[in-house]
Chain A
Amino acid sequence: MSIPAVVFNQVGKSYPQYHHITGGIKNFVFHLPSVLRAVRDSRYVALQDINFSVKQGECLGLIGRNGAGKSTSLGLIAGVLKPTVGQVTVSLRVSPLLELGAGFNPDLTGRENIFLNGVLLGMTRLEVARKVDEIIAFADLGDFIEQPIRVYSSGMVARLGFSVVSGLDPELLLIDEILAVGDMRFQEKCMAKMMGFKQQGVTMILVSHSMGDILKICDRVIWIENHLVKMVGEPRQVVESYLANV
């Protein structure tokens, strides 16, 4: 039996209300007592007592309403956030947190962003250079690949993001609603690629509001509601109860 890819052990995440201090030093100094009280007492709880584990090679779906804590969970797995309580253990090479506009710089061209992102995601420049043609072909953005990505539409940015990841050789993929903005053809292409990854045994965690996608690809689904795990299980059952609830 292999060790699980990801384990959440009684994980909780709360955010201090940073706007009290990011308002600036002046504000902070002049309203010191009330600001200190606010920062200490008013923490926003985004996740509470979350327990689950993901097996290697499994494809897990995360569903729930806006603000339920899905992106926060992915952030914890990617290691950009730290849990307030509990432990998150990830035993695979952590991959990018794929989200709209993930890790791109708007002033760089698509091609330059591929290099920047590829290296940020753990490849060396040489490795990116070997894959770059494949990535560009997958993104299929035409001449836009040489233009700064601030002129891209949000769907085009998502395509580029997914393409970079498709060129990687991922162990654990975190995907946050990236399929939603691509057009039909690209969504199908992504789906095919993800199916391919799945066959290769890549572990995937997918956040989506499209129940169709979730049903198509996931082996198991977790429904997060009010910052708690409301239901875990077989995709069809969980999706049905979720849809009945909304």
Chain B
Amino acid sequence: MKRSVKHLVDLIVVLTQKDLKVRYKSSFLGYFWSVANPLAYAFVFYIAFKIVMKIQMENYALFLIAGLFPWQWFSNSVNVNIFCFLNNASIIKKVNFPKSIIPFTLVLQDLIHFLAAVPVIVLFMAIYHKSPSWNWIYGIPILLVIQLILTYGLALFVSTINLFFRDLERLTALGVTLLFYFTPVFYSETMIPAKYHYFIQINPLSTLIISWRNLFLNGQINWMYIAASFVSGLVFLAGGYWVYSKLSWKFAEVL
């Protein structure tokens, strides 16, 4: 391996180890929270919509879980990683290195936590007498990559801007919450009235979450949706990286 590649890999490794240690004190706790959090949400939504409001849907608990896990990855990666440059001020001010690696390692960690939570989804499927599909073998990696680039692009954007406007975090949290209600996570896309269907097309998270859910529940792959999410992922990545590259040389000044 070339030395520069090796060094980049090592940089990702040490930064990841540091974050696991600093954020969760141990990698097990990190995993625990990435499972417990969406499960808690699933529980609350189940009570609210199935038991109280009596939504007409079979296997609603499974439906919720299949959408909430990928959503949790997205929202966590954006809401938590917005502070990643601030938290690494002492490093950024002293050493000149590719700072865009910092959010990348964080989003990568969230990806790994998500992946490690897939067995929990399988467990719930077993309860509902469903089994994994062969399509997962290529479907999961494809969706992982798409969500990785989309989330990384957005995380890079918000964490950069947050250095300059320190209250962006509130706006982002609000934005992510709003997006959650506009995305078919706890309701299905078929429940959306026909005249609002274009909402699915303009919200990149919709196509992504629907793709995940169809893959988990039915082993179904909708190439149209996948292509749409991929394109928006690329747009997010390019946009985030552009903003970062315009502003990264000022980081040491504002920190």
Contacts and interface: CB of A to CB of B under 8 A. Distances in A.
Contact of B94 (A28, A103, A124): A103
B58 interface: no
Contacts of B171: 25
Nearest to A25: B165
Contacts of A78: 94-96
Interface residues of B, number: 31
Contacts of A124: 3, 6-7, 10
B138 interface: no
Interface string B159-197: 000011111100100000000000000000000000000
B168 A105 contact: no
Interface stretch (A58-66, A107-115, A138-146, A181-189): A107-115
Contact of A79 (B6, B18, B96, B254): B96
A15 B94 contact: no
Contacts of B164: 18, 21-22
A28, A80, A99, most chain B CB atoms within 10 A: A80
A78 B94 CA distance: 8
B21 interface: yes
Nearest to A82: B249
Interface in B23-78: none
A75 B250 CA distance: 12
Contacts of A16: 253
Contacts of A130: none
B62 to A, nearest CB: 39
Interface string A35-74: 0000000000000000000000000000000000000000
Contacts of B94: 78, 80, 96-97, 99, 102-103
Interface in A101-140: 101-105, 107-108, 112, 115-116, 119-125
Given A24-B166, A94-B96, A124-B6, A81 B11 contact: no
A81 B252 contact: yes
Contacts of A216: none
A31 to B, nearest CB: 13
A80 B92 contact: yes
Given A78-B94, A102-B90, 4 more contacts: A22-B254, A25-B171, A78-B95, A120-B95
Give the 5 A-B CB pairs with smallest separation, nearest first. A24-B167, A79-B96, A80-B252, A103-B94, A102-B94
Interface of A: 15-16, 18, 21-26, 28, 75, 78-82, 94, 96-97, 99, 101-105, 107-108, 112, 115-116, 119-125
5 contacts: A21-B164, A22-B164, A81-B253, A103-B95, A116-B91
